[in-house]
A and B are shown apart, each in its own frame.
Chain A
Amino acid sequence: MKKKFRVAALVLAVLFVISMTTACGQNGDAGAAGDEVVVGVLAPLTGPVAQFGTAVQAGIELYVEQFNAQGGLQIRLEYFDEEGQAAQGVAGYFDLVDRGVHAIIGAVTSGVTMAVVPLAYEDNMPMITASSTHENVTVDAETGQVFTNMFRSCFIDPFQGEKMAEFAHEVVGAQRVAVLYNNEVDYSIGLTRAFEAKAAELGLEVVAVETFQTGQVNFQGQLTNIAAQSPDALFIPAYYQDVALIGPQSEAVGLDAVLLGADGWATILDFMSDSSSIEGAFFLTGFSSDVDTPMVQEFIADFTYKNGFAPNMFAAQAFDAAMILVTAIERALADGIEPGDAGFSDAVIANMAATDITGVTGHIVFDQFNNPQKTAVILQIADGRETFFGYF
């Protein structure tokens, strides 16, 4: 037993020394090469939410590859796999700092990002996430302090609810609206509250608000209550599994209202062998491959060529996040501030806050909470397909 411990201690000591020297080496490299900036990527590349992490990785890599190919400033990416766990995210942050990163893209899920942000804020580390939608990613929940170093390229939850209330009012022309939401999920609750508040502001009458719980399959009772109030539109801020069951049941109880959804509806048609019950429904999303601008189509073509599959919303938002960060770094360098300088972080953050660019997910400027004010993509289910309805 004792001998084993001694061997283990020795191995650990050797590993420790090696890691120290490599870490120093990387720091030295970064400082020496004037035209290289190191960007850390904090993402779940394995584990239960790996599908989001790998999509984000693919989006970032495509942008950086294309950017580096132009010559001049070179971006080097350093990865840390946080496995979707907050504790791993914190460990990953310290590891990336040790590896000498100048800025970080990440994390992917809100829980991990919120664990890392306070540390990054103290270090004044420029940071942007492509997919953490929780309100408190950029604002401290307790003090209301804005994390000035933290940005994102995705919508926040309340934004979607407000947008859909406006859409119901302006495009659908609804007077009476209803909501059916999951009262166990923050996402669903957040969208509902924002929708209700905006609806009241716009003078829409909210005639029915019904709830359900995760795993529930029978929505007919709620839908019958809603149908009795004959609303013009029904907002369902839920995930696709729920919508796949709510759709046919809304038809069965004779509900005649325009169905409205949010980005939780993404991929809904993969889960409905018969989508006739949600024909004509609208939902909001951050990205659509049907958008017909040269930039988006080029992005889809390049991404598909490189990866062998089409980009999803996460990959597109990651592409934009990389674009926002790298553009800000470029501007800081153009002002003559070098990566080793004391004011480099401040310069990058100031330039990110001043972002005014068009990415593949739309035109992006930041508000005072560092959330993007961008146009939403509205998709409609038409002829059994998700079709691009328009920007809103």
Chain B
Amino acid sequence: MIFVNQLIIGLQMGSIYALVALGYSMVYGIVKLLNFAHGDIIMVGGYIALFALTSAHMPPVVAAVVTVLGCTALAVVIEKLAYTPLRSAPRLSLLITAIGVSILLQNVAQLLFTADGHSFPAHMLLPAGSLTIGGFQVAYTALITILASVASMVALTILVQKTKLGKAMRAVSEDTGAAQLMGIHVNHIITFTFAVGAALAGVGALLYSVQFPLIMPTIGVMLGLRAFVAAVLGGIGSIPGAMIGGYVIGLLEVLVVAANLSSWMDGVVFLILILVFMVRPTGIMGRPMLEKV
């Protein structure tokens, strides 16, 4: 009984990690950038949803759409202002810029909304309460989180595998130069990839805020880092890998707690990161890296 409850909690947390990890993975796959500002986009999404619901009194569906669009717009602006000028710069400059953007977003949020937490009206977005499935109680929020993340991933897989845009994305990821020669507008595709990653982050922000209804400027940091570990574990650059990584980290966390080792939680998560780098740097689903000559 406890075990099944813990399993559901792990799946729910894992779903949020998976959504965030997808954003890391897609961007890395296409520009080889670890976008450390990705977690903070979720934080901004949380504030957008909060003010859309409370100050602007939007209906829940409109507020959700505004949140996703807001995150997308923010990511596109960041990409255009901070990353595009550095397209030909060394990758390290890009990485440091991403960390800078992350710190900037946190501090602007602190300036605008103070360091104090803002209560998120979760009940306005999703009903409280739970459903009984086969004798087990499953909270609506858990159910919707898991379903929403699975739906997002299915949609993403179709986008990448079945559409022309997806084909272009895969082409740019495989060989940017060749893709350009084939007539693919590389800059547009990169911007589009950032936008899709941020839209998933927007969905993640909504699910996160409902589950953890206290929005603070720093909430993106730990979430982003854990999702980053999930992306690396699954094989960074791989979409199914990000999903698997997210679920593994989510389940691992509850296992650590269930084993009464809760003080070791962060330690275990980051130990996984170290082990992956030592044993299998390409992750679970990653292809072995080929040296390009």
- Residue positions of A touching B, CB distance < 8 A: 183, 210-213, 215-218, 220-222, 224-225, 228, 241, 244-245, 248, 251-254, 270-274
Contacts and interface: CB of A to CB of B under 8 A. Distances in A.
B123 interface: yes
B257 A225 contact: yes
A253 B142 CA distance: 11
Contact of B263 (A213, A215, A221): A213
A224 B122 CA distance: 21
A272 B212 CA distance: 11
Interface of B: 2, 5-6, 9-10, 13, 116-123, 128, 130, 137, 139, 141, 211-214, 216, 218-219, 221-223, 253-254, 256-258, 260, 262-263, 265-266
Given A211-B263, A215-B218, A217-B219, 11 more contacts: A210-B262, A216-B265, A217-B222, A221-B253, A221-B258, A224-B2, A244-B117, A245-B212, A253-B9, A273-B121, A274-B121
A282 B163 CA distance: 58
A254 B137 contact: yes
Nearest to B266: A213
Contacts of B117: 241, 244, 271
A221 B213 contact: no
12 contacts: A183-B263, A217-B222, A220-B9, A221-B10, A221-B256, A221-B258, A244-B117, A244-B119, A252-B130, A253-B9, A272-B213, A273-B213
Contacts of A220: 9, 254
A228 B2 contact: yes
Contacts of A241: 117, 214, 216
A244 B117 CA distance: 9
A272 B119 contact: yes
A218 B262 CA distance: 11
B213 A244 contact: yes
B103 to A, nearest CB: 16
Contact of A221 (B9, B128, B219, B266): B9
Nearest to B219: A217
A225 B2 CA distance: 8
Nearest to B257: A221
A310 to B, nearest CB: 18
A224 B213 contact: no
A222 B262 contact: yes
A222 B254 CA distance: 8
A212 B253 CA distance: 12
Contacts of A221: 6, 9-10, 253-254, 256-258, 262
User: In this complex, which of B10, B141, B265 has the most chain A Cβ atoms within 10 angstroms of its Cβ?
Assistant: B265
B13 A224 contact: no
B262 A212 contact: yes
Contact of A224 (B5, B118, B221, B266): B5
Nearest to B216: A241
B135 to A, nearest CB: 14
A229 to B, nearest CB: 10
B207 to A, nearest CB: 13
A45 to B, nearest CB: 19
A253 B122 contact: no
Given A220-B9, A221-B9, A244-B214, A252 B262 contact: no
Nearest to A48: B115
Closest 10 CB pairs of A and B: A221-B257, A273-B119, A217-B212, A220-B9, A221-B254, A273-B121, A211-B263, A244-B214, A228-B2, A252-B139
A254 B5 CA distance: 10
Contacts of A274: 121-123
B19 to A, nearest CB: 15
A248 B209 CA distance: 12
A253 B5 contact: yes
Contacts of B256: 221
A226 to B, nearest CB: 11
Contacts of B260: 210, 225
A353 B2 CA distance: 54
Nearest to A254: B137
Given A213-B263, A248-B122, A218 B253 contact: yes
A381 to B, nearest CB: 15
B232 to A, nearest CB: 21
A253 B214 CA distance: 18
Contacts of B121: 273-274
B265 A213 contact: yes
Contacts of B265: 213, 216
Contacts of A215: 218, 221-222
A83 B292 CA distance: 57
A37 B98 CA distance: 58
A216 B123 CA distance: 22
B6 A224 contact: yes
Contacts of A252: 130, 139, 141
Given A221-B253, A245-B213, A273 B9 contact: no
B2 to A, nearest CB: 5
B72 to A, nearest CB: 24
B5 A218 contact: no
A273 B118 CA distance: 9
A51 B117 CA distance: 16
A253 B139 CA distance: 9
Contacts of A270: 119
Contacts of B137: 254
A48 to B, nearest CB: 9
A270 B119 CA distance: 8
A212 B256 CA distance: 12
A272 B265 CA distance: 26
Contacts of B254: 220-221
Contacts of B122: 248, 273-274
Nearest to B12: A220
B13 A218 contact: yes
User: In this complex, which of B212, B214, B222 has the most chain A Cβ atoms within 10 angstroms of its Cβ?
Assistant: B214
